[in-house]
Amino acid sequence: MDNAYIAALSLAFVFLLHYLLKGKRSNGGNLPPSPPAIPILGHLHLVEKPLHAALWRLAGRLGPVFSLRLGSRPVVVVSSPELAKECFTEHDVTFADRPQFPSQLLVSFGGTALATASYGPHWRNLRRVAAVHLLSAHRVAAMSSGVISAEVRAMARRLFRASADGSGGARVQLKRRLFELSLSVLMEAIAQTKATRPDDADGDDTDMSVEAQEFKKVVDEIIPHLGTANLWDYLPVLRWFDVFGVRNKILAAVRRRDAFLGRLIEAERRRLEEEGGGEGDQQGEKTSMIAVLLTLQKTEPEVYTDTMITALCANLFGAGTETTSTTTEWAMSLLLNHPEVLKKAQAEMDASVGTSRLVTADDVAHRLPYLQHIVSETLRLYPAAPMLLPHQSSADCKIGGYTVPRGTMLLVNAYAIHRDPAAWGPAPEEFRPERFEDASNKGEELPLMLPFGMGRRKCPGETLALRTVGMVLGTLVQCFEWERVGGVEVDMTQGTGLTMPKAVPLEAVCRPRAAMRDVLQKL
């Protein structure tokens, strides 16, 4: 114990010396304004949860661009649309890199996954593979009319079974069902396999498949340890002693995730071998992404390694399940707290789609503008990644007239930008889809929104996410009546982590709409 104590004091002295020397070296630069710091920790004492709200408050004191030091890591925070555009247009290449965090290295195969890889040939190849073989316009359109529609119908069928008996409706926790739907869509698109459900055989209803329960447990255990507010990434002493067991918790969840993905990959490998080696149309919408990658592996094994395939799948599953289901959960929470908006959306649905069939992807895209405005307003108020993913400067540059040195982490506060009264007018925190309707009717350009990021590191899954959210939300609005549990307003407290989950999962009372009962009975 004495040796550990001495070691800790020695480390503290080294960090203090490093901090003081670094501070002297950087005093001459025209750095963005910064609040008072303390030795070793820098500004970590100001990092409160949720982080986006804490940094928004700091921006109110320091301005739209300010600097922090988190441990020994320099950070610049941007909170205005003008400066965000400057970062991702004029300096897009400079900020195309990602900072490497110890926690993320454990999760992302040493930083080689799509979301965390350094900018360069490896990242460009990963991006191309994802864009061509899963997220192209052709593939997403095919998925919308096929896989997504089928999974949305299955969810509606299960909700109908759960809520059709009795006039009081059924109390459901939506996040679990939404997570399962998102995972099922990706399982079919990426691995050409279906989730295992007991109700597929005997009609018993459960709100999650076996695979969804397994993967959600992994996500729930990994996400709290990721993100800028994780002190483990900024204080090496916490990693060296790891008194909270963070490393072991992350590695245990990662092992279960990789085992889950490994089973999907091996199943596709066996299927390809049974079908004669996987020759054929790699671009066909019925070919899974894993099948394409395994076929490419035969000609370029040094590029398309098993690790590369697993890492890409892990990124797509991780990003595509949690963010899509969370966005839909926030949208339903907002509709329940604003029943007049829900009634208006249902009226649009009845007028444009009718009650003799289920809403389709084509309806969402071309006949339901108000539903799209609801999705846009949800993403404005509750972006799935409120701080986006962090960027890092690869060269010195200037933002807003201030110097940003090479190696500085850039945080763009999308949450603050989306609630800027200078851009969105009075009451920017109110849920009002009509703000998009008004702008559309007047032909006005909307203020900057960046729920999926901006520039070359923008999320490539935007189109798929919007199609999925639109289809799911449209079906929930069209087919069911929704009420708050006990008439109590839905708790809109925000959770913490890399994404912005609800602190209290949404529970609501669900009843089939009388006009849609015949359609639901035929599902």
SS3 per residue for 146-205: HHHHHHHHHHHHHHHHHHCCCCCCEEEEHHHHHHHHHHHHHHHHHHCCCCCCCHHHHCCC
Is the pLDDT at 204 greater than 80, yes or no?
Answer: no
Q: What pLDDT score was predicted for residue 330?
A: 98
Per-residue model confidence as pLDDT tens digits over 55-79: 999 999 999 999 999 998 999 999 9
pLDDT of residue 166: 61
**pLDDT higher than threshold 60 for residue 276:** yes
DSSP 144: I
Query: Which residues lie across from 171 on neighbouring strands?
Result: 509
Counting residues of the chain whose pLDDT is more than 90, the rounded percentage is: 70
Average pLDDT on 353-364 reads 96
- Give the chain's domains with CATH numbers: 31-521 (1.10.630.10)
pLDDT surpassing 90 at residue 245? no
Which of 444, 495, 517 has the alpha carbon at shortest distance from 227? 495
Instruction: For residue 447, count CB atoms less than 10 angstroms from its CB and return exposed for 0-12, middle for 13-18, buried for 19 or more.
Output: middle
> Does the pLDDT of residue 352 top 50, yes or no?
yes
Whose CA is closest to 354, among 338, 369, 368? 368
Dist. CA 69–CA 32, nearest whole Å: 12
The Cα 323–Cα 451 span in angstroms is 10
Cβ proximity of 494 and 227 under 8 Å: no
Mean pLDDT of 455-471: 95
How far is the CA of 28 from the CAs of 31, 103, 243, 394, in angstroms? 9, 33, 38, 20
- Ligand-binding annotation for 479, yes or no, is no
Per-residue HEC secondary structure of 331-399 comes to: HHHHHHHCHHHHHHHHHHHHHHCCCCCCCCHHHHHHCCHHHHHHHHHHHHHCCCCCCCCCEECCCCEEE
Output the pLDDT for position 202. Answer: 40
Q: In what order do the strands lie in the sheet with 170-173?
A: 170-173, 507-512, 480-484
Q: Name the percent of the chain in helix, strand, coil, to the closest 5.
A: 55, 10, 35
| Higher per-residue pLDDT: 133 or 226 | 133
Whole-number pLDDT of residue 488: 96
Tell me the mean pLDDT in the region 104-113. 92
Does the pLDDT of residue 321 top 70, yes or no? yes
Pairing outcome for strands 65-70 and 73-78: antiparallel
pLDDT tens for 116-154 read 999 999 999 999 999 988 898 888 988 888 999 999 999
pLDDT of residue 199: 53
Torsions phi, psi of 73, nearest 5? -100, 120
pLDDT above 60 for 278: no
Range 41-46 average pLDDT: 92
pLDDT given at position 145: 84
Higher pLDDT, 438 or 150: 150
**Contact yes or no for 195/294 (Cβ under 8 A):** no
Q: Decide if 483 contacts 333 (C-beta within 8 A).
A: no
- What is the per-residue burial (b if ≥16 Cβ within 10 Å, else e) of 347-377? ebbeeebebeebbbbebbbeebbbbbbbbbb
The residues, ordered by sequence, that sit 6+ positions from 90 with a Cβ below 8 Å of its Cβ are: none
Burial class from Cβ neighbours inside 10 Å (0-12, 13-18, 19+) for residue 285 reads: middle
* 53 confidence band (pLDDT: 50, 70, 90): very high
Order across the sheet with 409-412: list the strands. Answer: 65-70, 73-78, 409-412, 391-392
Write out pLDDT tens, residues 373-420.
Answer: 999 999 999 998 999 999 999 999 999 999 999 999 999 999 999 999
Q: Which amino acid is at 350?
A: D
Alpha helices in 45-148 (DSSP H): 51-62, 81-88, 102-107, 121-133, 137-143
Across the chain, mean pLDDT equals 88
Cα–Cα distance between 290 and 415 in angstroms, integer? 35
More confident residue, 84 or 188: 84
414 in Cβ contact with 386 (< 8 Å)? yes
Angle between helices 339-352 and 462-479 (to 10 degrees): 90
Q: Which residues contact 470 (CB under 8 A, 6 or more apart)?
A: 361, 364, 365, 368, 371, 372, 375
Give the pLDDT confidence of 164-198 residue by residue, as tens digits: 776 678 999 999 999 999 999 999 989 988 887 66
Question: Are 72 and 15 spatial neighbours (Cβ–Cβ below 8 Å)?
Answer: yes
- 3-state SS class at 494: strand
Q: Which residue has the higher pLDDT, 226 or 482?
A: 482
Other C-beta atoms closer than 10 Å to the C-beta of 273 total 11
Give the pLDDT band of residue 49 (cuts 50, 70, 90): confident
Local confidence band at 239 (pLDDT 50, 70, 90 cut-offs): confident
pLDDT of residue 282: 46
Mean pLDDT along residues 8-18: 49
- Confidence at residue 233, expressed as pLDDT on a 0 to 100 scale: 84
* Exposed/middle/buried for residue 498 (C-beta within 10 Å: 0-12, 13-18, 19+): buried
Write down the pLDDT at residue 227. Answer: 66
pLDDT surpassing 60 at residue 474: yes
In this structure, what DSSP letter does residue 514 have? Answer: G
Q: Per-residue DSSP letters for 252-318?
A: HHHHHHHHHHHHHHHHHHHHHHHTTSS-S-TT-TTS-HHHHHHHHHHH-TTTS-HHHHHHHHHHHHH
Residue 86 near residue 99, CB atoms below 8 Å? no
Q: What is the pLDDT of residue 444?
A: 79
**Tokens, residue 77:** 């925070």
Torsion of CA 320, 321, 327, 332, to 10 degrees: 140
